[in-house]
Amino acid sequence: MRSRTLREGSVGLLILVGLALFGGLAFWIQGLNLGRRSYQANITFDNVAGMRPGAPVRYRGVVVGKIQEVQTASNAAEAVIQINSNRLIIPKDVIVEANQVGLIGETSIDIFPQVLLPESVTEQADPLASDCDTQLILCNGDRLTGVVGVSYDTLIRSTTEIADLLTETGFFEELRELTRNTADAAEGVSELTREFSSLSRTLEGELGALTASAINTTDAVGQAATELSITSRQVNDLIETNRSTLVLTLENINETSLELRRVVATLSPAIENGELVENLQILSENAVIASNNLRNFSDTVGSPENLLMIQQTLDSARATFQNAQKITSDLDELMGDPEFRNNLRDLVNGLSGLVSSTQELRDQAQFAQTLQSTKESLEAATPRPAAPSMPTVPAASAQSLPVIEARPEEGN
């Protein structure tokens, strides 16, 4: 009887233990975590890419929850996610992506934060609290918008589009053309390499002469540096030799500056007296008047009437110069005749002799007049005796004067 009771009790206890294990397993499968409080959020997608309940939710690459429910509507699909612990504070500024990973293509949700939360917020904030700041962190029941990230469907679709694009646009023809162009370019590069080798050999032959020229240039530069060093030493010696002269010159310059300073100090009272300033003012006024007069003169000269008169004067002067040039050319042509020059020389000599003969005749006539007046004076002073009258000899003294004929001077 006792053994039967023991067996029945053992069976009952085994049943209770099995029920407990079964319930614990069920709770574990459902994600029941004792001592931790979870919160939920709603994510809206245009396309959930085959998302199913129970798929993991990752935050910064770590699984922090799961997808509880997937609902669809006419314009969007919505996934309800559960974050396992309210101690995980997620900022509101996040990017939510639906990505397909693994060999079977399971769609999960990845949350990428865009900002960093202060430590005070992460320590004190509670997504389940009634005063949760929905502008700062993700609170219980908030809604977010997600996008499709890595998707096999999108990959296959993009691959198909690329294949169609390559097939329809003649990509392979262009690839073959590119291959031919590459071959031509390789042949050109080979030809260029051969030419470069020839050029390098030519350059190697000329490099010796260039090196020799560089060596000669270096030697010339060295020689110039040596001469420059010698010149600098000579300059130093010259400065050392004429140091006293330089010092004396500097002293003279100093004395000159002192004298100039004294002269300036002497002229300062005259400048401050006012007469010099007044004279300068008068001089400036006169300069202004002169400039005004010069401006008036330039305006007067620049008037159309004066310009016309100046142009007419220039035309008259030009005509006069042309006539003078013509007369000069005629005179040159006339004076160039030797016979004319001889006749002109004879005429000048004859006129000169005539002038000299005329002067002699004038002198002789004056002398005759003097003799006649002297004779008359003597006759008047001498008393005449009474005598029979003598026949008067007519005064022909003037006729007895010799007449000097004009003759050309000799020696011409």
* Mean pLDDT within 23-45: 74
pLDDT at residue number 402: 45
Among 42-46, 117-121, 230-234, top mean pLDDT goes to 42-46
Whether residue 395 is predicted with pLDDT greater than 50 in this model: the reply is: no
Give 227 or 32, the one with higher predicted confidence.
Answer: 227
> Cβ distance 368 to 397 under 8 Å?
yes
> Cβ distance 128 to 143 under 8 Å?
no
* Mean pLDDT within 350-379: 73
* Mean pLDDT within 360-367: 74
What are 160's two structure tokens?
């198909």
Share the mean pLDDT of the chain.
78
Helix, strand, coil shares of the chain, percent, nearest 5, are 65, 15, 25
* Mean pLDDT within 367-371: 74
pLDDT in tens, 47-73: 888 888 999 999 999 999 999 999 988
CA–CA separation, 192 vs 337, rounded Å?
86
pLDDT at residue number 334: 65
pLDDT at residue number 383: 54
Within 10 angstroms of residue 168's Cβ, the number of other Cβ atoms is: 8
pLDDT at residue number 29: 64
Among 17-31, 58-72, 225-239, 391-405, top mean pLDDT goes to 58-72
**What is the SS3 assignment for 48?**
coil
Where does the pLDDT of residue 96 fall: very low under 50, low under 70, confident under 90, or very high at 90 and above?
Answer: very high
99's CB contacts (< 8 A; 6+ apart) are: 107, 108, 109, 110, 149, 150, 151
Cα dist from 64 to 117, 138, 312, whole Å = 18, 14, 112
Among 46-60, 239-253, 366-380, 392-406, top mean pLDDT goes to 46-60
48's CB contacts (< 8 A; 6+ apart) are: 70, 72, 77, 79, 98, 107
Within 10 angstroms of residue 79's Cβ, the number of other Cβ atoms is: 27
Among 23-27, 68-72, 219-223, 261-265, top mean pLDDT goes to 68-72
CA–CA separation, 106 vs 129, rounded Å?
33
Domain ranges of the chain: 35-151
* Mean pLDDT within 148-161: 81
Whether residue 365 is predicted with pLDDT greater than 80 in this model: the reply is: no
